[in-house]
Amino acid sequence: MTMYTGETGDHCALPRTAAQARSYVRGLVESGPVLGSAEREAFLADVLLVVSELVTNALRHGGGITEFEAEVGAEGLRLTIGDARSEFPTVRPREAGAGVVGGYGWPLVARLSQHVTVTPVPAGGKRIEVLVPLGLAAGEPLPG
């Protein structure tokens, strides 16, 4: 797996913002498997949404990013993001007229990804691993 390389070229650096993580993943996709331009753009849109959501949640609700790894291969993007909080993501029920803000991100990640796992880290925190597959690029029907 390719670990995030920060602006200094340090493999131990972690993205400090969702924009940094998206920029890194965009570079992986653009240098990854040869895709047609329409397929690449659809795949890129999906992976950037997933990266944004997971990184933003780790920063905003997870106590910070503790791990970030990404790899683009024939199956798609494999992404691992760790954060400092042990609480697992949950889906909030949507009640009409309740005025609830947010709550769309985790269902979006689950819908665009396969093999979503959330694992507690023994030292504290959690690790979220996802595969955003090439075969479910934006615009294609999703299963079930």
Residue 98 lies in a domain: no
Give domain status of residue 46, yes or no. yes
Please tell me the total count of domains within the chain: 1
Residue 142 lies in a domain: no
CATH number for the domain that contains residue 68:
3.30.565.10
144 inside domain: no
Give residue for tokens 């309740």. 98
Encode the chain (144 residues) as per-residue pLDDT tens digits.
445 544 444 455 799 999 999 999 999 988 877 677 788 888 999 999 999 999 999 999 999 999 999 999 889 999 999 999 998 887 766 665 556 556 778 999 999 999 899 999 999 999 999 999 986 444 444 343
Range of the domain at 118: 2-91+103-136
